Chain A
Amino acid sequence: GAVVSQHPSRVICKSGTSVKIECRSLDFQATTMFWYRQFPKKSLMLMATSNEGSKATYEQGVEKDKFLINHASLTLSTLTVTSAHPEDSSFYICSATTDLLGEQYFGPGTRLTVT
């Protein structure tokens, strides 16, 4: 149980285009989903917290107009990287939880490369 999927697993896009990444909780309803960014051999940096039906809460330094988050249902959150630039190339991972004081279930991640 507690499986989280992400789509796509890899995406290559041209500079200036937008990319949408989906995060789904497959066998449970997540009260909250989180989006992280991970650089090679680095830690996970929390970008934003997403709750169904409400605006996402972004961490300091994360541009909300660049990283659009939509949480349409208890099983789906999407992250759209708008007007992508090469410096946005990274590994984006989502997580989902039913308990804010408990375990988070991570998706397999999306490798974004902006050329």
Chain B
Amino acid sequence: GQQVMQIPQYQHVQEGEDFTTYCNSSTTLSNIQWYKQRPGGHPVFLIQLVKSGEVKKQKRLTFQFGEAKKNSSLHITATQTTDVGTYFCAGLGGRGSTLGRLYFGRGTQLTVWP
């Protein structure tokens, strides 16, 4: 299946600092999705990026999809304690045998100190 790498694995920040997590794929992605998993919880969909070079914002969260559709990033401005959790990127298979399959990155576990 597709390989999706995500860094860093852990990030500890003080409340108010910014946070960024990066994803890279070995192959061109049909689209990329981002999920957040709170401690003890299940993944919750945040956003989907489809177009090359796409940038989407959700309040303090900014999502980018690379021009080659092989990398993506999530940036959180001025983190809050409610941002705590693990952020996963997932590449979506777009055709053939991979259609609909999500290939998750390892995730970045964000800890925010008050």
* Cα-based distance from A60 to B106 in the complex (angstroms): 18
Q: Which residues of B contact A45 (CB under 8 A)?
A: 104
Chain B residues with CB under 8 Å of A108's CB are 41-42
Distance in Å from the Cβ of B44 to the closest Cβ of chain A? 7
Contact of B92 with A105 in the complex, beta carbons under 8 Å: no
B88 touches A97 (CB 8 A): no
A103 touches B109 (CB 8 A): no
Q: Is the CB of A49 within 8 A of B105?
A: no
What residue of chain A has the Cβ atom nearest to residue B42's Cβ?
A106
CB < 8 Å A-B pair total: 57
A43 touching B106, Cβ below 8 Å: yes
| Chain A residues touching B, range | 20 to 34
A60 to B1, Cβ gap below 8 A? yes
Not counting A34-B100, A103-B33, a sample of 12 additional A-B residue pairs whose C-beta atoms are within 8 angstroms of each other reads: A32-B100, A42-B106, A43-B104, A43-B105, A45-B104, A46-B101, A57-B97, A93-B43, A95-B102, A101-B31, A101-B99, A105-B45
Interface of A toward B, CB cutoff 8 Å: 32, 34, 41-46, 49, 57, 59-60, 93, 95, 97, 100-109
Sample of 17 A–B contacts (CB below 8 Å): A41-B109, A42-B107, A43-B88, A43-B106, A43-B107, A44-B102, A44-B104, A45-B104, A60-B1, A93-B42, A95-B43, A95-B102, A101-B30, A101-B31, A101-B99, A105-B45, A108-B42
Q: Which residues of B contact A (CB under 8 A)?
A: 1, 30-31, 33, 35, 41-45, 48, 88, 92, 94, 97, 99-107, 109
